[in-house]
Structure 1
Amino acid sequence: MVNIIKDRYGYIFEDELINEINEVATIKEVKEGEKLIEIGDYIKLMPLVISGAIKIMREDSDGDELLLYFLEGGDTCAMTLACCMGQKKSEIRAVAETKATLIMIPVQKMEEWMTKYSTWRSFVLESYQNRLNEMLEAIDTIAFLKMDQRLLKYLKDKAMVTRDDVISTTHQQIAYDLHTSRVVVSRLLKALEKEGKIKLNRNSILVKDL
């Protein structure tokens, strides 16, 4: 596992920390659609993403989901870190957007490494900042963009994290992610297709305007 860690995080972490991660962590392979973290769970392991993409969502009081951001290789989830450090129940749901490989680290190591390794502390703080910026962007998108602009941005983001301009999904799943109705999504997708920005296929969408 040392080589896997070095390939993804060797430019960030020193050898001593990489060796400690190797001693206490486990590799986890997840399938597309597999749920990693559920709202209300106590988190015992913190994920570092080696490859693939993970979708992070919140849930409102009615049980409707809202997409916050995606995690890619080299990322970790700031909201997971916050729950780990505070020993709180998870406020997010994490689902594999694609097949992914993760390094799972026991949470008790987190505080120890924060004081022991400056590289780990910098990594955690930078992760907080990156995720905060992405959540602010999500808020701005909801507050200031029209739904058709939100939809196109969502499709572009999804294409970028999956590294594929063909997105395999349903209108209903998009509606869940954007916290809107399937009818609205279907209408807007047809409008975007007429504008030449996408091409609709059965259960997939080709994003032309990347």
Structure 2
Amino acid sequence: MGMDKNLLLQKFAQTLDSALITEISEKGIFKSFKKDDIIIDIHQTLKFIPLLLTGDIKIIREDSDGNELLIYFLEAGDTCTMSLTCCLGTTKSKIRAVAEKDSTLVMIPVENMQKWFHNNESWRNFILQSYQIRFDEMLEAIDSLAFMKMDERLYKYLKNMAMVDGTKTISIKHQDIAEDLNTSRVVVSRLLKKLENENKIELGRNKIVMI
């Protein structure tokens, strides 16, 4: 539990008060996930909300044919407000949360989340700020779908991925990018070559370097 509390302090000391961090370390369930593990699935009834301690998570929507579309990424210190909405009501999850890399989370039971929202100012502020951040990111996703050409969407996706990972070298397969952007691997490969010719990226084997 000591290590778990240390992780909480590292990621949330600037956001949540110390008494609440202690309570989270006692009431929360700490879980680890491997890359590509599904953390929350579509239509799942949620009895917890996740706080991300280490790693990255991608939040995905799916259509009736099983085509996926990336909505946004979560980084350490974030929570998923789409799961908050489901927990506060009685609806089932409308998103899929997938580990982008090996990740550690603490799962907050719904009853604690609701209680803290009413009686802890730091938690309430954290939740409301999270809503605002995710709302802005979803507007960005809508804008990119509506207004950006696929090569612009691809370059924006790569920049976001590099920012989340904190590196200029992105290890990813063309097929994985295609699935996130709901397009074909052939289109992704062609547009990556175009970006390389424009000196925006360098292509390697299953890796992309941002210039």
After TM superposition, the score normalised by the length of structure 1 is 0.95
Partners of 1:127 and 1:2 in 2: CA distance? 21
Instruction: Tell whether 2:100 aligns with 1:97.
Output: yes
The correspondence of residues 125-140 of structure 1 with structure 2, limited to 5 A, is 125-140=128-143
Alpha-carbon deviations, 1:30-86, whole Å to 9, x = none?
A: 211111011011112211111211000001122110100000011100101001111
Conserved? CA contact 1:46–1:80, under 8 Å: yes
The correspondence of residues 188-199 of structure 1 with structure 2, limited to 5 A, is 188-199=191-202
Which residue pairs with 1:8 in the alignment?
Answer: 11
The correspondence of residues 136-175 of structure 1 with structure 2, limited to 5 A, is 136-175=139-178
- Where structure 1 has 5 or more consecutive residues not aligned to the other structure, the ranges are none
Instruction: Tell whether 2:51 aligns with 1:48.
Output: yes
Which residue pairs with 1:26 in the alignment?
Answer: 29
Letter in 2 for 1:166: T
Q: Which moved more, 1:91-100 or 1:4-13?
A: 4-13
Alpha-carbon deviations, 1:69-108, whole Å to 9, x = none?
A: 0000111001010011113211000011112121111112
Per-residue deviation, 1:4: 2.1
Per-residue deviation, 1:5: 1.5
Which residue pairs with 2:179 in the alignment?
Answer: 176
The number of residue pairs the alignment matches comes to 208
Partners of 1:57 and 1:94 in 2: CA distance? 6
The alignment-based identity, stated in percent, is 54
Partners of 1:151 and 1:16 in 2: CA distance? 43
Partners of 2:200 and 2:80 in 1: CA distance? 31
- Pick from 84, 89, 92: which aligns with 1:86? 89
Alpha-carbon deviations, 1:121-174, whole Å to 9, x = none?
A: 111111111000000001111111111111001011111111222222211111
RMSD: 1.2
Q: Which moved more, 1:40-49 or 1:1-10?
A: 1-10
Conserved? CA contact 1:171–1:182, under 8 Å: yes
**SS of corresponding position for 1:62:** coil
Letter in 2 for 1:67: L
Partners of 1:5 and 1:171 in 2: CA distance? 35
After TM superposition, the score normalised by the length of structure 2 is 0.94
- Where structure 2 has 5 or more consecutive residues not aligned to the other structure, the ranges are none
Partners of 1:100 and 1:124 in 2: CA distance? 21
Partners of 1:95 and 1:130 in 2: CA distance? 19
Which residue pairs with 1:60 in the alignment?
Answer: 63
**SS of corresponding position for 1:28:** strand
Partners of 2:67 and 2:191 in 1: CA distance? 20
**SS of corresponding position for 1:13:** coil
Letter in 2 for 1:49: L
Per-residue deviation, 1:16: 2.1
